[in-house]
Amino acid sequence: MAQKIYAGVSVDVNEEGYFTNPAQWTREMAAEVAGEEGINLTDNHYAVLSFLRERYGKGEALTIRSVGNSGIIDIKGFYGLFPGAPMKKAAKIAGIPKPSSCV
């Protein structure tokens, strides 16, 4: 398993850079992961990250549509915050595994 240093702390990540232990995540680390993706985190970003971590903690599926239905932001806005592949980028920055869309 690979290790990476974020906010001065060594954390476990997989080959794609996703946290394998979401408990190691902090807000400061999120800012650094976001920087690697070319994103500057705002309060809106953090609101989405909290939502994703909470949902992940409850074992619920993470989908773009579920973020759109969350009341925090609509899908268009989600794309605006995390351009290109919002769910994959947001999950990476939120320190949770890459969502495996149902097969």
Partner 1 sequence: MKRLLILGAGTGGTIMANKMRKQLSRDEWDITIVDQHRTHYYQPGFLFVPFGMYNRQDVVKPKTSFLPNGVNVIFQEIDRIDGNESKVLLKDGISLKYNFLVIATGTRVVPEETPGLKGPLWHKNIFDFYTIEGALALAEFFKTWPGGELVLNIADVPIKCPVAPLEFVMFADAFFVERGLRSKVNISYATPMSGAFTKPRASKVLGALLEDKNINIIPDFYLEKVDNDKKAIVSYDDREIPFDCLVTVPVHKGDPMIGRSGLGDEMDFAKANKHTLQSDFFPNIFVIGDAGNFPTSKAGSVVHFQADVLTENLVCAIENRPFTESFDGHANCYIETGFGKGALIDFNYDTEPLPGSFPFPGIGPFGLLKETRMNHYGKLIFRWIYWHILLKGKEMPIDSKMTMAGKKM
Residues of span 16-75 touching partner 1 by CB under 8 A: 60-61, 63-66, 69, 75
CA of 34: how far to CAs of 21, 59, 94, 101, 102, in Å?
18, 24, 9, 22, 26
Question: 4 an active-site residue?
Answer: no
Nearest to 16 by CA among 41, 39, 33, 38: 33
What is the nearest approach in angstroms of partner 1 to the Cβ of residue 12? Answer: 19
Residue 84 found at the interface with partner 1 (CB under 8 A): yes
Nearest to 95 by CA among 66, 59, 63, 57: 57
What is the nearest approach in angstroms of partner 1 to the Cβ of residue 6? Answer: 24
Point out which residues bind partner 1 (CB under 8 A): 60-61, 63-66, 69, 75-76, 78-79, 83-85, 88, 100-103
Q: Which residues are catalytic?
A: 102
